[in-house]
Structure 1
Amino acid sequence: MSRRSTVLSTGKESSKEEKNRMSQLDVIIGQLKTMAVGNRRAGNLSEATITYICQASRELFLSQPMLLELSAPVKICGDLHGQFKDLLRIFQQCGVPPLSNYLFLGDYVDRGHCSIETLSLLLTYKLRYPETFFLLRGNHESADLNRVYGFFDECKRRYSIKLWRSFVDCYDCMPVAAIIADRIFCVHGGLSPDLNNLDDIRRLNRPTDVPSDGLLCDLLWSDPDETTGTWASNDRGVSFTFGANIVEGFLMQHKFNLIVRAHQVVEDGYEFFADRQLVTIFSAPNYCDIFDNCGAVLVVDAKLVCHFVIIRPRPFSRPTGFESDSGSTATATNGPPPSMREKRLY
């Protein structure tokens, strides 16, 4: 799926060693899924195992570009925020790797109760299927935000501060944007006044934390805004908002047809902007057990025809662990009319 061939193996591993390593990753994936069914948490994974996942993922991220170039088909997911059960619902509805290719747009941790499980499973899938499973960085893949919004405390309470630092070292190396089939630009937040050409993204250095301003900050923090035509200050106090004219100009300059981003809760799980030239995807239904929002996954087929899979809200229940959860998802055939569900790009 990746347009640039990269492999996790150094080439020095024997085929037997590589097979054993893949088998170990399959075991970890199975353990994490079993925990969800059996009301157990990632405490069943040793700290050493999770640390290995972080360190190996870090090296893999560094071996792949800062701006990924991918091919279709692919399924694109937005914010998860530690909602592990809902991540499993996405896989149940949309297909487990490697049966489906995935691109996640960031914000895997904070706010939810199971950030460790969520990020551990995603990283393990990345290691297991490095050419068909991709993770972008979100603004919450940040040490500063983790200290405020819960992931630091979760790691400290359940494992150690040292493990949290291993996670931070890992996502300090994540890519920040992706292009699908030369037509779809994907990013967590949005555009930047400092983005003059795509090489500006490719030249961003890693490892790096998230700065308070500049290109990297904007890619992770900026938002579309219907009330402005160009650039304006952001009510978040970080980065900018951008209007439809900025979206149209960016697409025209780079010959793209669509921008896909995350970063904002939207009631239906997805929301169009700028005459359907940009779409926001949010994949955490019942966000924070406060909102009654749906989650959504954007499915891009091999011909670049797009449709949405809707993850319906669950009845509210205070989280006490995990249980099997099926039958509560629906495709967009039960949602808005077809004109809002599909967009043929060319």
Structure 2
Amino acid sequence: MSSSPAGAVVPVTEDAAREAEEHKQRANQYIKEKKFALAVENYDLAIGVNPNNHVYYGNRALAHIRLENYGSAIVDADKCIELNPGYVKAYYRRADANLALNKIKLALLDFRRASKYAPKDPDLRRKLQQCEKAVKVMQFEKALATPQEEVVPAYSKVVLEDMVVEEGFTGSRMAKDAEGKDVVTLDFVLSMIEDFKAGRKLHRRYAYSIILGALEIFKELPNVVRVDVPKGSKFTVCGDVHGQFFDLLNIFELNGMVSEENPYLFNGDFVDRGSWSAEVIFTLFALKCLYPRSLHLARGNHESKNMNKIYGFEGEIQAKYTQQMADVFREVFCWLPLGHIINEKAFVVHGGLFASDDVTIPDLQSFDRNREPPDEGYMCEMLWSDPQEPLGRAPSKRGVAIQFGPDVTKAFLERNNLDLVIRSHEVKDEGYTVEHDGFLVTVFSAPNYCDHMGNKGAFITFSGEDFKMNFTKFSAVEHPDIKPMAYANNYLFGG
């Protein structure tokens, strides 16, 4: 007999073993159908009946990876290896989970361990080589790193005057003000969108004008921005869009374009995974320049250097524009606000709530957000935390920040005289969920996420009159045949 997860020997009858195999077969079928949450549920049942089978943990780790529950995947891989140290897939999956968390050195150790058991596996050898290369690059960059106090921002090196728009340029052109400065107009935005739909790029001068214009606005904002929705007006909150440009346009088709009369808040994770992240971010930044008080943008966990390196945004900007522009975007993302409060009622944040009970809005306004997200603390939790059904708090299934229960949500709202938490950060089958006795809403606006999850997207509209929520669900629309992750780091997503 093998040991149970608690370390004790668990006798398993033949009937129980057969029942566990039936649960596993159903779970495996759900994996094939890309219904990963249902797969996890059935692996849970299999493990509940027979906790001694290492394969169940290894398979559940794969399902957790597909759900981006990297912390849970690592726990399952650990258990699988405890039960069977020679099971190659467990090392492989733990490495993939650590790669997703940008823990490249830990991933490299597991790829090396796996290669001892399967030295001829071509995919494993490729990932091992690419991971070794990535570690060498990290070490080289660390050796060359400039002390923080001497760093010159990349955006300060951009000289628009040196970027001449050629007479023969046929793409969208910005208007100019009386001083000759580029100006974003609605006509330009609409023309730019048509160019993007046709696969055309911005001129780099206009691209930088948009980025730097948005940066000026973000720098003037606090960590948590207060938004007032007047009576008789509506306000729309959208969740993750993740580079799904054509689904973003569908939101505007369904709900109207951003305007002074039709304000929006996009609650983080504009980029990565989808292969039109450049088009999404230029559209949102241009609209921010055009309507600075009517379009609100919050930082998500994917507006960060580590995520952009792994999940495609950096590679996409390098491919479509330049590395310098990718560096500028990285700096601008550090200035994005971290949260919003709507009508002194709703706290809107990408991830969720906190590891301590005494957090107030003034606390969240008090730190410097102009940095890459830390591994712990308020900023990390705002970007990464998730809700859970049980009371209290628990380690995150993602491996970053925490999970928080309904009692934590209610206590935070009472402490800060608020009524509701709205967050994003998680795929939902219907595009949204209402949890924690109605005090917490999750909204996710990327339908058929990564072209395979089959979920709806959703957005929320509020009335300034009574602040009543209305949910609109929508399906994915057709897009050109470019796969998700087309620009992602291929040591994680290349096979």
Normalising by structure 2, report the TM-score. 0.58
Q: Provide the residue aligned with 2:257 in structure 1.
A: 96
- CA deviation vs aligned residue, 1:224-269 (integer Å, no higher than 9, x gap): 011x311110021110000011011111212211110000000000
Q: Provide the residue aligned with 1:75 in structure 2.
A: 236
How far residue 166 of structure 1 moved from its aligned partner, in angstroms, is 1.2
How far residue 314 of structure 1 moved from its aligned partner, in angstroms, is 3.8
Query: Is the partner of 1:179 in helix, strand or coil?
Result: strand
Q: Provide the residue aligned with 1:34 in structure 2.
A: 194
CA distance in 2, matches of 1:112, 1:171: 18
Contact 1:32 1:117 in 2 (8 A): no
* 1:306 equivalenced with 2:465 (yes/no): no
Query: Structure 2: which amino acid aligns with 1:200?
Result: D
Kindly report the root-mean-square deviation, in angstroms, between the aligned alpha carbons of the 2 structures.
2.0
Contact 1:270 1:279 in 2 (8 A): yes
Aligned in 2, Cα 1:58/1:206: closer, same or farther, shift over 3 Å?
farther
> How many equivalent pairs are there?
301
Contact 1:28 1:124 in 2 (8 A): no
- CA deviation vs aligned residue, 1:17-41 (integer Å, no higher than 9, x gap): 389868544344123221244x223
Aligned in 2, Cα 1:22/1:280: closer, same or farther, shift over 3 Å?
farther
What does residue range 146-161 of structure 1 map to in structure 2 within 5 Å?
146-161=308-323
Query: Structure 1: which amino acid aligns with 2:365?
Result: R
- CA deviation vs aligned residue, 1:63-102 (integer Å, no higher than 9, x gap): 1221110012310000000000011111111111214100
Which 5+ residue runs of structure 2 have no aligned equivalent? 1-175, 484-495
What does residue range 237-276 of structure 1 map to in structure 2 within 5 Å?
237-276=399-438
CA distance in 2, matches of 1:245, 1:283: 27
Contact 2:182 2:206 in 1 (8 A): no
Query: Is the partner of 1:260 in helix, strand or coil?
Result: strand
Q: Which has the higher contact order (CA 8 A, sep 6+)?
A: 1
CA distance in 1, matches of 2:426, 2:372: 21
Contact 1:286 1:314 in 2 (8 A): no
CA distance in 2, matches of 1:223, 1:49: 38
What does residue range 1-346 of structure 1 map to in structure 2 within 5 Å?
17=177, 24-37=184-197, 39-41=198-200, 43=201, 45-72=202-229, 73-98=234-259, 99-194=261-356, 196-226=359-389, 228-302=390-464, 303-314=466-477, 318-319=481-482
Aligned in 2, Cα 1:36/1:259: closer, same or farther, shift over 3 Å?
same
| Greater per-residue helix proportion | 2
How far residue 193 of structure 1 moved from its aligned partner, in angstroms, is 2.1
Please identify runs of 4+ aligned residues in structure 1 that moved more than 2 A: 16-28, 313-320
- CA deviation vs aligned residue, 1:99-150 (integer Å, no higher than 9, x gap): 4100110000000010000001101101111111100000000011100000
Q: Percent identity?
A: 33
How far residue 168 of structure 1 moved from its aligned partner, in angstroms, is 1.0
Larger Rg: 2
CA distance in 1, matches of 2:347, 2:414: 12
Aligned in 2, Cα 1:120/1:222: closer, same or farther, shift over 3 Å?
same
CA distance in 2, matches of 1:27, 1:61: 23
How far residue 285 of structure 1 moved from its aligned partner, in angstroms, is 0.5
Query: Is the partner of 2:351 in helix, strand or coil?
Result: coil
Aligned in 2, Cα 1:316/1:95: closer, same or farther, shift over 3 Å?
closer
Q: Mean alpha-carbon deviation: is it higher for 179-188 or for 302-311?
A: 302-311
